[in-house]
Structure 1
Amino acid sequence: MTGRLRGPTGRYGGRSAQERQAERRRRFLDAALQLFGDTPGYRATTVAALSEAAGLSTRQFYEEFRTLEDVLADLHLQVNGWAEEAVLAAATATEGRPLGERADAIFRAYAGNVTADPRRIRITFVEIIGVSPRLEEQRLARRSRWVDLICDEAAAAVTRGEATRSDHRLAAAAFIGSVNGLLHDWSAGWVDATLDEVVDELVRQLLSILRPLEGDS
């Protein structure tokens, strides 16, 4: 198949074709969050099963997507987008506050958003892994955005005299790996700690990277 089937145009039931298309895509993504993020998982889901879960037809699926991989790609971006919105809101709310307060608020917002639904964790840290070079590139690109955010925070903290001047990119990349691994292990029940304790540890690690010669307060 070289492209998606074309859907109907014009208004129907008081909604435009664009509105109906957006609703269909939302229903497919909602169904994918359930099937990919829980049971049976991305690799065991079929187009027919996803369409049935969405309450739509396979023809409607192919009007919106080419493959199930396209759905997973969109869902991965959506889940990351939710987390990024939460982080940016926390960053805005703590504008001008000391580094320790900002770091705590930002990572509490991220952890709270990602762990609010175990299916989001599975999409972000499990189902996306090893699917294809294309999705691996997307996963690494999203991780790079989180590294950039930490580097931006570090640069601002250096300007305020709250962090040590350094090239923080390597440390930030290592830290993001720790964030992903720890949150995944916590959600799987492999870490005997509360979410608050997990976030406290992540904030401690971040501050030790940014200002290794100072205390955490």
Structure 2
Amino acid sequence: MPGAARRSTRPYGGKSPEERRAERRRRLLDAALQLFGDEPGYRASSVAAVCARADLSTRQFYEEFRNLEDVLVQLHREGNARAAEAAAEALARAADAGYAERAVEAFRAYARVVADDPRRVRVMFVEVVGVSADLERRRLETRRTWAELVLAEVKLAIERGEVPSRDYRLTVHAFISAVNGLLYDWSAGYIQATLDEVLDELVTILVGAIERQG
């Protein structure tokens, strides 16, 4: 089209346009993580505030995201993806171990990724709640995915004869709720304990609930 603006495909400052765009996107996400996960929180933030912290324009923001909720979705997805990758790697390393050891290794890997940054804990477990019907659906689907992963491990333990055969769905969903609540309370300073102590307690809850009879 005559007169239409063309996006440069030439390197600038030693970086390709794709690299510069990825860098801008990362700056926006990092700025949003700071605002959403600390002060003032997601609901009191604005596109202008995110852009100011990232030192980018609103035009550049809207080239990457539709709105603030879109950013929140990406942060939530990114945190869960990192945790899922860590848990999967831990399970692969412990492929020949018993279920209790596998549970410990996978959960510790998951929790260390999530709890590494208190801001990410707040974003993943608090700020995403009740934002919109669409995000609530995404959030619950993510929890269901985690539950299915744990249930698959329990099924394997049943097949190996390591734990009693019964319906573990409520047990697993209760455990996931405990994880979300306790990790947030710990990260926010409500609970005075080390991360290792928190993780040990959660693993004890999970293993004890799975091993109970009937």
TM-score, normalised by the number of residues in structure 1: 0.89
Shift, 1:7, TM fit: 8.5
Report the Cα distance in structure 2 between the residues aligned to 1:169 and 1:114, rounded to whole angstroms: 23
Q: 1:87 and 2:87 equivalent?
A: yes
Deviations 1:3-60 (A, max 9, x none): xxx9935233154433332222111111111111112211121111111211211101
* Residue identity in the other structure for 2:90: A
Report the Cα distance in structure 1 between the residues aligned to 2:8 and 2:208, rounded to whole angstroms: 57
What are the within-5 Å matches in structure 2 for residues 12-91 of structure 1? 12-13=11-12, 14-91=14-91
The change in CA–CA distance for 1:99 and 1:128 in structure 2 (over 3 A counts) is same
Once structures 1 and 2 are overlaid, which stretch shifts more, 102-111 or 14-23?
A: 14-23
TM-score, normalised by the number of residues in structure 2: 0.90
Report the Cα distance in structure 2 between the residues aligned to 1:122 and 1:83, rounded to whole angstroms: 15
Shift, 1:82, TM fit: 1.5
* Residue identity in the other structure for 1:81: A
Deviations 1:103-148 (A, max 9, x none): 1111111221111110011101111111111111111111111101
Residue 8 of structure 1 aligns with which residue?
A: 7
Residue 3 of structure 1 aligns with which residue?
A: none
Residue 205 of structure 1 aligns with which residue?
A: 205
CA contact (8 A) 1:7 1:63 kept: no
Report the Cα distance in structure 2 between the residues aligned to 1:84 and 1:33, rounded to whole angstroms: 19
Residue 190 of structure 1 aligns with which residue?
A: 190
| Number of residue pairs matched by the alignment | 209
Unaligned runs of 5+ residues in structure 1 are 1-5
Coordinate RMSD, CA, aligned: 1.9
- List, as ranges, runs of 4+ consecutive aligned residues in structure 1 with deviation greater than 6 Å: none
Deviations 1:63-117 (A, max 9, x none): 1111111011111111111211221121111111111111111111122111111
* Residue identity in the other structure for 1:169: R
What are the within-5 Å matches in structure 2 for residues 159-174 of structure 1? 159-174=159-174
Report the Cα distance in structure 2 between the residues aligned to 1:43 and 1:190, rounded to whole angstroms: 22
CA contact (8 A) 1:36 1:42 kept: yes
CA contact (8 A) 1:83 1:114 kept: yes
Report the Cα distance in structure 2 between the residues aligned to 1:131 and 1:73, rounded to whole angstroms: 10
Report the Cα distance in structure 2 between the residues aligned to 1:190 and 1:40, rounded to whole angstroms: 19
Once structures 1 and 2 are overlaid, which stretch shifts more, 29-38 or 204-213?
A: 204-213
Once structures 1 and 2 are overlaid, which stretch shifts more, 182-191 or 70-79?
A: 182-191
What are the within-5 Å matches in structure 2 for residues 106-145 of structure 1? 106-145=106-145
Unaligned runs of 5+ residues in structure 2 are none
Q: Secondary structure at the match of 1:41?
A: coil
